Structure 1
Amino acid sequence: MTTAPLIARARVRGVETLALDSPGSRNALSAALVDALAGALADCAADSGVRAVVLTHTGTTFSAGADLRDPPAPEALVGLLRQIVELPKPVVARVAGHVRAGGLGLLAACDLAVAATESTFAFTEVRIGVAPAVISLTVVPRADPRALARHYLTGSRFDAAEAVRTGLLTAAGDDVDAVLEPVLDGLRKSAPQGLAETKRLLTARVLEAFDRDAADLTARSARLFASPRAREGMTAFLERREPPWVL
C-alpha cells in the first residue's frame, strides 16, 4: 500500500511551488508533514534550477497548527522553521484560506507572505493551555509588539488586513495570485547570488534569536504540552467542547 505524498510539487520558470497537501487534517503540522516539507525544502536548496520557493496549500486551510494526534517534536519544528529562514533562496507564502497557531510560525518564517482577503488568522495556543513558544522565533521579529500581545493573549481571530498591518503578511488582495505574480516576476529578474546575499542580510537578526532562544523555547514548549492543563485543553478541543477554565 502506497502513502499519498504530503507535499505537492510543481515548477514554473524557476519557481518551485510546495503545497501542503493534507486537507483532511487541515494541513496540521504532523511529524510526517514536517519531515516531508523539510525534505522538499532540502531538494530546493540543492537544485540550481530553483530561483525561489512558493509555500502554499491544498484545501481551505494553509495550516491548522500542530497536529494534536501526531505532533512533531519541538526540535523538529524548530529545525523546519530555521531551514526556511536559512534557505539560500527566497520563500514566499501564498495563503488562500485560514492559518492557525503553528501555521503562523511557518508563515512568518517565509521571507514574503501574501494572502487572499478572506483569509483569517489566530494564535489559538492560549486557549488549550499552552503558549506559542517555538513559533515566536519567527513571529516576534515580524510583528508589531502591541498587536501581537493582543492576538497572543486572546487567541481571537483576525483578518488579512490586520495581518498586513501587524507585519505578518506582505500584502493581501481579493485575487491572491494577482498579488503574488508581481512578486515572483521580481524574483525571476534577480540574480541568484544577489537574492541569497540579500536574504542573509534580512534574516541575520532572526537567526540570532534562534541561536539565543531556541533551546529554551523548545524546552518550554515540551513542558507545556506535557502538562495536565494542556492535556485537558487538547482533549476538549478534540472533543469539540469548552475546557473547564472557560467562564
Structure 2
Amino acid sequence: MYETLEIRTEGGVATIWMNRPDVHNAFNAQLIADLTAACRELDADDTVRVVVLAGRGKSFSAGADLNWMKAAAAASVEDNLEDARKLAGMLRTISGMGKPTIARVQGAALGGGMGLASACDICVAAEQAVFATSEVKFGIIPAAISPYVIRAIGERQAYRYFQTAERITAARAGEIGLAHEVVAAEALDAKVAQIVAALLQGGPKAQAAAKDLIRNVANRPVGEAVVEDTARRISSLRATPEAKEGLDAFLSKRPAAWVSQQG
C-alpha cells in the first residue's frame, strides 16, 4: 500500500494512479518516495508486462507541491541537495525500468509533471493536456527533469521552453516529440489500450534489451565500437529461449507463449 498512489493490475498491465487530486498530484517527499518504491516493485514483478502512469482528477501532475517548495526555500543547502537527489533518483528509476512505460496525460503536466511524461517511454495526451517547464518563473531551473525532457524534445526546443516557461499545448507537444499521440479526452483510454495491446505482443526480455539498446546507441557516432556493440547484442539474443519461442511461434502461425500467458 502506498499513501499517495493507487495501483491497479490487470492482464499484465499495472496502472499507477497518482492519487493527490486535491493538489493536482503535485510532488512532495511522500509521492517521490512512493513512486520510486512502486516502480522498483513493479519492475521486479514478472507478472507485470507494461506500466501505465496516470493521475487522478483534472491534472496529470502540476509539479512540485507549493508547501514542499516553501519548506525547501527555508532549508539548508544540504537538505535541498538530499531532496533533489531523491527527485532525480525517482525520475531515473522510471526511465530505467526494463518494462515499457506509458504516461497517460489527461490534463496539466507542469514542471516535474512534464518530467514524468518525458521519463516514460511513451506519452499519450488528451487534446486539453498542457505541458510546461515552468521553473524559471520561480527563480529555479528544471534540473532534475532536464535529461528526460531534452531527450524528448531536443536541445533546440529546450533552449526556448526552459527559458520562456511557455505553456505547451497538446498539439504542440505532438509536434516537438513530447507526445507520441494526441487524442480527444474520450478516446484517451482506448488509445492507451491500443498501444498496450501492441506492447503485449513483444517478448518481454527483447523489449528490455531494446530499451537498453537505445540508451547505449543514441547520440553516439556510428563508429567501430557502436557497430561491434550492436552485432554482439543481436547475436547474444538470437540463442535465447525467448527468441527461439518467438521464431517458432511465427513459423507455426500461433501466438508466442508470452502472448498466450496474458489471456
Does the 8 A contact of 2:136 with 2:163 survive in 1?
yes
- Consecutive unaligned residues of structure 2, counting only runs of 5 or more, are 70-81, 221-263
CA distance in 2, matches of 1:123, 1:111: 19
2:52 to 45, 51, 54: 54
Does the 8 A contact of 1:85 with 1:203 survive in 2?
no
Equivalent position of 1:91 in the other structure = 101
Counterpart secondary structure, 1:93: strand
Does the 8 A contact of 2:3 with 2:30 survive in 1?
no
Does the 8 A contact of 2:2 with 2:34 survive in 1?
no
Equivalent position of 1:114 in the other structure = 124
Higher normalized contact order (CA 8 Å, seq sep 6+, divided by chain length): 1
User: Normalising to structure 2: TM-score of the pair?
Assistant: 0.74
Equivalent position of 2:226 in the other structure = none
CA distance in 2, matches of 1:128, 1:67: 13
Which amino acid in 1 is paired with 2:129? S
Q: Kindly name which structure, 1 or 2, has the bigger radius of gyration based on alpha carbons.
A: 2
1:68 equivalent in alignment to 2:78 = no
Does the 8 A contact of 1:113 with 1:171 survive in 2?
yes
User: Normalising to structure 1: TM-score of the pair?
Assistant: 0.79
Equivalent position of 2:21 in the other structure = 23
Equivalent position of 2:165 in the other structure = 155
The 5 Å alignment of 1:1-247 reads: 5-70=3-68, 73-174=83-184, 175-204=187-216
Cα 1:192–1:164 shift into 2, 3 Å: same
Equivalent position of 1:216 in the other structure = none
CA deviation map 1:190-239 (0-9, x unaligned): 11111110111123368x9xxxxxxxxxxxxxxxxxxxxxxxxxxxxxxx
Which amino acid in 2 is paired with 1:88? G
Which amino acid in 2 is paired with 1:185? A
Give percent identity, aligned residues only.
Answer: 35
CA distance in 2, matches of 1:192, 1:158: 34
Question: What's the C-alpha RMSD, in Å, of the aligned pairs?
Answer: 2.0
Counterpart secondary structure, 2:68: coil
Residue 68 of structure 1 deviates from its aligned partner by: 3.1
- Consecutive unaligned residues of structure 1, counting only runs of 5 or more, are 209-247
Greater mean alpha carbon deviation, residues 141-150 or residues 130-139: 141-150
Residue 97 of structure 1 deviates from its aligned partner by: 0.9
Residue 85 of structure 1 deviates from its aligned partner by: 1.5
Does the 8 A contact of 1:65 with 1:99 survive in 2?
yes
Which amino acid in 2 is paired with 1:148? A
Which amino acid in 1 is paired with 2:112? G
Does the 8 A contact of 1:172 with 1:179 survive in 2?
no
CA distance in 2, matches of 1:182, 1:37: 25
Counterpart secondary structure, 2:25: coil
Does the 8 A contact of 1:163 with 1:169 survive in 2?
yes
Which amino acid in 2 is paired with 1:182? Q
